[in-house]
Amino acid sequence: MSTQNTAGDPASEGAGGVAFENLPDRPTIRKAVAASAMGNATEWYDYGAYAVVATYIGHHFFPGEHETLLTLATLAVSFIARPFGGFFWGPLGDRLGRKGVLAMTIIMMSAATFCIGLLPTYETIGIGAPILLIILRLIQGFSTGGEYGGAATFMAEYAPDKRRGLYGSFLEFGTLGGFALGAGIVLVLQLVLGEAAMEDWGWRLPFFVAGPLGAIGLYLRSKLDETPVYEELDEAGESEDSATKGLRDLMVEYWKPMLTMAGLVIPLNVVNYTLLTYMPTYLGTKIGMGETESLVVIIVGEVLMMMVIPFAGHFSDIVGRRPMWWFSLIGLFVFALPMYFLMGTGFVGAMVGFAVLGLLYIPQLSTISATFPAMFPAHVRFAGFAVTYNVFTAAFGGTAASVNEAAVEGTGFLEFPAAYMMGACVIGMIAMLFVKETAGASLHGRDIPESEPEDYGSEAIAEESAALDACGR
């Protein structure tokens, strides 16, 4: 149950009994949102860029009969390191704070991506080339294990309770922005340089963009203080004594929310990586669509999703998170197969099918930062999110492209990705039976958040806004 009280004395108390005048003002909140979203965009820029240059990567690093499968497997390799990153960075973020961990992860991630553009090819150094590529992908995965959970926690703990859906949605705006930027840069390079130059050296250029993106994200994060939730916890002496103890407490006391969250992470990532990572390969090699056309499909779909995300996040502040997830899971289960049949009809069908599935996915994507951090109390929040998310993302997200490719290649069933998404959605629906509503609930303190109906909705949002205005926040 939320402890926020804005109705009685709107100028006095906020989340968890904290005075509104002690909470961050709106400009600071917007800076926190920008810093989190920028780091997330850098993270997913790499995945987007790698996915759309996968053909070139395969030619230069995995020449031979199975180059497509090996290239996608290398994409999945980074996910092997993500759980290790989650187990390392998550408890550290609960012990030392969110800000410092996020600074370290964005440096590692952007540097590793940048270095991929510098790698010698198989033709130059033989087997050493794919080995070096795999090492850099592992570094990326290890840093991502802390980046995403930390950024989501950071944003959620900065956001006002009643607007956490809206503000948190911009983290995923950054996700799609990174994907779209990666695909967009490759498309421009293909049009400007031509196929021969892209094959020879142009494929390297997208990876160099990660350098300035990471620098911008690091600068934005360096200008912010620690989150109010963590500062309150630390000042009260209620933060974890050590990272090891925090991890032990998480596993022993909070395995139920971890299991519930796992059930949501599975459909979230199967749909995400099937749609956004595997789709360029699927459209190109399985349906026979040209590279330029397939990139246009992806970019248009991602831009459309970006336009809708903030509205979906805001809507979740009004109706709650659970209705959003139910709508998405049921909608994807019903429409996945028809839309894949439609995508197989040609360019226009692919545009419509991808857009429909992308929009049905938005209610999940837009509410990650509002839903998952709220499933754990403050003292184990970073670790709970990072460990659970990364373990099951590695198992189901990182393998999605390879599983889909192997199944389609082995069986000839072109609509297998749709069936895979449908199965994952069934798991998500089972997990939803155990999910508590947390919209509008306070994230302060050592109790698991849970909201009452009066904690969210238009009236609750208006009361909180009035309280913040009265305190000049």
Residue ranges in the chain modelled with pLDDT below 50:
1-12, 15
pLDDT at 19: 54
Question: What pLDDT does residue 22 have?
Answer: 60
For 405, list phi and psi in degrees, rounded to 5.
-60, -45
Please report the pLDDT score of residue 294 as a whole number. 80
Confidence (pLDDT) at 404 = 87
pLDDT value, residue 195: 83
Is there a contact between 440 and 317 (Cβ–Cβ < 8 Å)?
yes
**Residue 271, pLDDT score:** 94
pLDDT in tens, 186-243: 888 988 988 889 888 998 999 998 888 888 888 888 887 888 888 887 777 766 666 6
d(CA 296, CA 283): 11
**Is 162 within 8 Å of 440 (Cβ atoms)?**
yes
Exposure letters 158-175 (e unless 16+ CB within 10 A, then b): bbbbbbbbbbbbbbbbbb
What residues contact 69, with CB distance under 8 A and at least 6 apart?
402, 405, 406, 409
What pLDDT was estimated at residue 11? 44
**CA–CA dist 100, 89 (Å, integer):** 10
Q: For the stretch 99-136, what's the b/e string if a residue is b when 16 or more beta carbons lie within 10 angstroms of its beta carbon?
A: bebbebbbebbbbbbbbbbebeebeeeeeebbebbbeb
| pLDDT tens by residue, 28-54 | 888 888 888 887 888 778 777 887 787
Domains of the chain, CATH where assigned: 15-470 (1.20.1250.20)
Find all residues with CB under 8 Å of 212, minimum gap 6, and list them: none
